Amino acid sequence: MSATTTPTQLTKSSAGTPGAGPGSRPAGGVPAGEGRIGLRANLRHIGALVRRNALQIKQDPESMFDVVLMPIIFVLLFVYVFGGAIAGKGNNDDYVNYVVPGLMAMMGMNIAMAVGTGINDDFKKGVMDRFRTMPIARSSVLIAKIVVEVGRMLIASAILLGMGFLLGLEIKTSVLDLLAAVGLSMVFGASLMWIFILLGLAMKTAQAVQGMAMIVLMPLQFGSSIFAPPTSMPGWLETFTDYNPLSNLADAARAMINGTPVGDSVWMTLGWALLITVVTAPLAVAKFRRKT
């Protein structure tokens, strides 16, 4: 089990001085893993922790059900339930090209929620107590979580696009544009993970994290251009969608796949991703250090 092998690897790779081990403190009283970790050692720690998290998924395949089933269910549900009402009966193919790029934004946000519940659960299981004794950078634990979840997002996006192609999705630009749309959704989804990590560290239970996440998710998802054009919405809601980062991402992905004008949606999405990361990542790392 990776939880047994990885600590040894981490200890060996991260020892800044001879004899450094779990629970050791470098000269000067600085706690192990705090401020004395070089970039190469930090990258080794992240790699070892990514391997640990990946092995956990391998030993618990059910943890991938959301990644595999959610894209399939959402595409079928929205295309066949809302497609006729929004695009007109018999025009489901047109709605596929509208909703699938929007769902790329929705996938990232839903999968990002799993990071917060996972962090919270790790504290309950005592995993973080073990990490506390190791000379590793605290940020490497969080970054490794994000790397693995980005990999899960890629799988979900591939399944989502596969379902879209089966239902008539057409790429009216190029493969490079499609990959750019996927990459943009990955960048934005990774930034959202810092929000949910912060929630996972602040809330007492995983259920509380899920409840708070749904309060955030619902208005952002349905008050956006993911499922329907905002022109049919009331004026106040249409204004909200204009500033909703999920609308910017959905519009950007839709433009890159359908060949329509991109406008400022790409830069707005990247701006939101940068702002969210700059604000929440330091807060999450600081909160994690206090808890560990």
pLDDT (tens digit per residue) in 173-220: 999 999 999 999 999 999 999 999 999 888 888 888 888 888 888 888
Identify which of 258, 246, 268 has the alpha carbon closest to the alpha carbon of residue 170. 258
With 50 as the cut, is the pLDDT of residue 33 above it? no
108, 116, 211 from 56: Cα distances, Å: 21, 16, 25
pLDDT in tens, 42-91: 788 888 888 888 888 888 888 888 889 999 999 998 888 877 777 666 66
Contact 115, 149 (CB under 8 A): yes
Q: Given this model, what pLDDT does residue 27 score?
A: 41
Q: Report the mean per-residue pLDDT for the chain.
A: 81
Q: Given this model, what pLDDT does residue 292 score?
A: 67
Residue of 271 and 80 predicted with greater confidence = 271
With 50 as the cut, is the pLDDT of residue 12 above it? no
Contact 109, 192 (CB under 8 A): yes
In this prediction, what percent of the chain has a pLDDT beyond 90? 34
54, 101, 227, 251, 273 from 248: Cα distances, Å: 31, 11, 13, 5, 11
With 80 as the cut, is the pLDDT of residue 290 above it? yes
Q: Given this model, what pLDDT does residue 247 score?
A: 93
Identify which of 173, 119, 115 has the alpha carbon closest to the alpha carbon of residue 148. 115
In the numeric block, the tokens 């204004």 are attached to 239
Q: What is the mean pLDDT of residues 259-269?
A: 91
- pLDDT category of residue 32 using cuts at 50, 70 and 90: very low
Q: What is the mean pLDDT of residues 228-247?
A: 88
Contact 212, 203 (CB under 8 A): yes
Q: What is the mean pLDDT of residues 243-252?
A: 93
- Rounded CA separation 189/235 (Å): 28
Q: Given this model, what pLDDT does residue 7 score?
A: 44
Q: Given this model, what pLDDT does residue 90 score?
A: 62
Q: What is the mean pLDDT of residues 223-246?
A: 88
Q: What is the mean pLDDT of residues 95-116?
A: 87
Q: Which residues, including other chains, have CB under 8 Å from residue 169's CB and lie 6 or more apart?
A: 96, 97, 100, 161, 257
- Rounded CA separation 280/274 (Å): 10
Q: Given this model, what pLDDT does residue 235 score?
A: 86
Q: What is the mean pLDDT of residues 146-169?
A: 92
Q: Given this model, what pLDDT does residue 10 score?
A: 45
* pTM score of the predicted model: 0.79
Question: How many other CB atoms are found less than 10 A from the CB of residue 91?
Answer: 12
With 90 as the cut, is the pLDDT of residue 154 above it? yes
Q: What is the mean pLDDT of residues 15-26?
A: 41
- pLDDT category of residue 130 using cuts at 50, 70 and 90: confident
Q: How far apart are the first and last CA of the chain?
A: 23
Q: Given this model, what pLDDT does residue 153 score?
A: 92
DSSP label at 63? G
With 80 as the cut, is the pLDDT of residue 31 above it? no
Alpha helices in 126-137 (DSSP H): 127-132
Q: Domain segments of the chain: what residues?
A: 37-291
